[in-house]
Every structure is written in C-alpha cells, then in structure tokens.
Amino acid sequence: MRARALGQWARMENLSTRTYKPLEYDSRLYLFGTRLYNWIQKTFPLLHRAYFPFLEAACLHRRAGFILGARRFKAVVRDCAPDVVVSMHAHLNHGYRDLVMEAMPEKPPVFAIYCGELGDGPGFSRHWVNPEADLFAGPFAETCEAAISRGMPEDKVYEAGLLLRPAFFEKPKAKADADLLRKKWDLDPKLPLLVLGTGANGVNRHLPVAIATRALGEAAQIVALCGENQKTRRWLETMGEHPKVPLRPLPTIPADEIAPLLRSATMLFARPGAGTTAEAIACGTPVLFDVSRGVMPQEQNNLSFWQKRTGGLASTKKAADVPRLLRSSSLPATLPYSSDETPLRFLEKLREIVASR
C-alpha cells in the first residue's frame, strides 16, 4: 500500500519508480514465511505473540551472505540503477541494504527506510533500525522516537507524515462525497453509514456484523470492503435486500472512492492494522477496532498510539456491539490530521539527500 502510494506521488513529480518484493519474488522459503504470516493474521492473530518474537530473534535477513535469492536481487538493482532505494519492510533494512551497496559499488544509491508503524510498542521490530541507512522516516513523532531509542542516529530521523495515495489528502467536499454515495452505491447520506474494513490480507468479520446489524432492526447502511476476499463477498451477496439495512459488498475499489467513503462514514469497524488506521486518521473517521481472536504485537502499537493521541479507545470482540455503538450518541474518537502534510515532503527530503552526496 505505501509503496504504491509513493509511486503515485513520484509519478506526479515525473519520477520513475519500480516496486520489488524480494521476500515474495526471490525465494520459495521466504514466500512460505510470508504466507504463514498472513495465514496466522487471518485465522488466529494471537499466535503472532509467538511468531513475531521468533522473527525478531532469528535475524533471517540480517546478513547479506545468508540471504536466499541474493544474486537475482542484485541483478534487479543493477538493472534499475536507482538514485534512491526505499525499504518499507522491517526485514529489508540490513542484509538487503548491503546487497544494494554490493550491486552498485561505484555509485551507491541513497538507502532510506520508511516505517509505517504509527508508534512504539511490543510490535515495533528492532529490524526497522539500521544506523547505516541514510534516512529513517516515519509518519509520526512516536515512530521516530521509537527508532531513536533503538539506536537510529537522531540526525538521520525524519517525521515524514502519512504515506497514503493522493486521494486521501484532498480537501473534503461534503456535497461531492454525498453525491458519490447516492450515484455510485444508492446510499442515503443522511442515514448512519457503517463501513466494514478489510486489511491487505483480507481479514474481516463482515458476515456476523452484517447479520447483527440487520437483526437490530434499526435503519442503517453497510458498506463492506472485501478487497480480494471473494469468499466473503459472495457470502454477503447471498444475504439479499433488507428494508431498513441496505448492504453493499464491494471488491477492491480505487482510493478516490475509498477516501470519500471513509469521510462519509459514521463509523469504521476494522482490525487495528497500520494501513487501515492511517487511512481512517487521514479521513477523520471514527474507528471501532476489531480485537477478536487476539491482538498481534504489531496491532498493539496502533492501539496504544490511538489511545495516547485521542484519550479514548473503542474496541470489541463481539459483532453484536457494532450496531449498538453505531446508533449510540457516543461514537468512537477521531484523530485530527492535517491534509497539507503530503508525501511530497518525503520526496523533497530524499532529493536533498541525493543532492548532498
């Protein structure tokens, strides 16, 4: 998500980019590990309390000489010959950084880290921090402070703001957003709107929440973002129409539709992932966090950040709580954010480092 966003902003500045995922492209073993991580997140997030510490201790990608697929990765780097390499994954900041330098010894590119963690906590990986990197950037002061406390030189740390697609930084236009709800999804902007979020891995509890909301029998509207989870979307489509609670199951939709939808939402119900939470922050959306089946260490970072910034945290394990809170007079908190702080600042920072070398 963040790589795609950076690519869009870069193209607006006539900069060429390429996204590469070595943990998925270069080794079957790494691909298995990635899929295992995603499977745990989907089925029983609490297991990450064991898997995450294992990854922290194992240091699987700490040394360049032990990285599988290193030859292919270096060939990709040489082929691109980039001025800047931006890592957006905790496990790409040490051994892979060294491979980048080996691939281009005569003209080593700037190596920057953009960490999407919203704040510090038990899920902030020590692998995010590499003092040899040219820059560590994070969305908030809490992210930067976490990196400094783990050994990142303060003069290399930069608070870059949220790295989201351009649509999330557009000035809110109430009339245009309302028109989109009516024309695109046949929804009434005057009625409560519940948006059910899905993370990149398709994790959700859409079906029980939709059933509970309709069972309550009060007028409301539901938009279920299903992403690539076609199974969930098909289940929701079989529920049919309801006189008081229309349901709109949606596949992956573009950012210029997600952003107005979140700005119009009475409430978002989703897992406390960094990506979804960041989008809610940018859109000023009240969030009820889904903490069923346990909380991953990485998710705890975001919950703690939200609690610290807003002074209030709404979360539940029960689907039946969602429609009741939607209709209550006390909605979850929102977190103010300035839309003027776009990722262009981050690109300008990278330009400054390149120019200084």
> What CATH number is attached to the domain comprising 192?
3.40.50.2000
Residues 276, 310, single domain; the answer is yes
The three-state DSSP-derived secondary structure of 200-268 is CCCCCCHHHHHHHHHHHCCCCEEEEEEECCHHHHHHHHCCCCCCCCCEEEEECCCHHHHHHHHHHCCEE
**Residue 35, in any domain of the structure:** yes
Shared domain for 214 and 319, answered yes or no, is yes
Q: Are residues 184 and 155 in the same domain?
A: no
Same domain, residue pair 200 and 144: no
pLDDT given at position 22? 93
**pLDDT recorded at residue 200:** 64
| Judgement on whether residues 11 and 142 belong to the same structural domain of the protein | yes
Of the CA atoms within 13 Å of residue 161, those in its CB half-sphere come to: 21
Q: Choose among 44, 58, 139: nearest CA to 91.
A: 58
Q: Tokens at residue 336, please?
A: 């103010």
Q: Is 336 among the domain residues?
A: no
Residues 178 and 90 in one domain: no
In a domain? residue 331: no
Profile the chain (357 residues) by mean pLDDT over runs of 10 residues.
Answer: 94 95 91 87 82 86 92 96 97 97 96 97 96 97 97 97 95 88 93 88 85 93 91 91 94 94 95 94 95 90 94 92 88 81 94 94
CA distance to 197, 228, 229, 258, 268, per residue, from 225 (Å): 5, 9, 9, 9, 11
314 in a structural domain: yes
Tokens representing residue 240 in the block: 């049919």
22: closest CA among 110, 130, 99?
99
Residue 332 lies in a domain: no
In angstroms, the Cα distances linking 356 to 17, 131, 134, 352, 353 are 21, 18, 11, 6, 5
CA distance 285 to 140: 18
Beta carbons of 305 and 118 less than 8 angstroms apart: yes
d(CA 273, CA 281): 12
Please say whether the beta carbons of 185 and 257 come within 8 A: no
Establish if 258 belongs to a structural domain.
yes
The count of structural domains within the chain is: 2
Q: Does 335 fall in a domain?
A: no
- Say whether both 12 and 109 belong to one domain: yes
Q: Give the separation between CA 300 and CA 253, rounded to whole angstroms.
A: 27
Q: Is 355 exposed, middle or buried (0-12, 13-18, 19+ CB in 10 A)?
A: exposed
**Do residues 118 and 301 touch, judged by C-beta distance below 8 A?**
yes
Q: Are residues 176 and 105 both part of a single domain?
A: no
For the beta carbon of residue 116, count every other beta carbon within 10 angstroms: 23
- The pLDDT value given to residue 235: 92
| Three-state secondary structure call for residue 355 | helix
- Whole-model pTM? 0.93
156 with 174, same domain: the answer is no
Same domain, yes or no: 98 and 124: yes
For residues 303 and 350, membership in a common domain is answered with no
Write out the residue range of the structural domain in which residue 64 sits: 2-161+341-355
Q: Given this model, what pLDDT does residue 203 score?
A: 73
Q: Are residues 191 and 139 in the same domain?
A: no
How buried is residue 216: exposed, middle or buried, by Cβ count under 10 Å (0-12/13-18/19+)?
middle
Examine residue 316 and state whether it is found in any structural domain, yes or no: yes
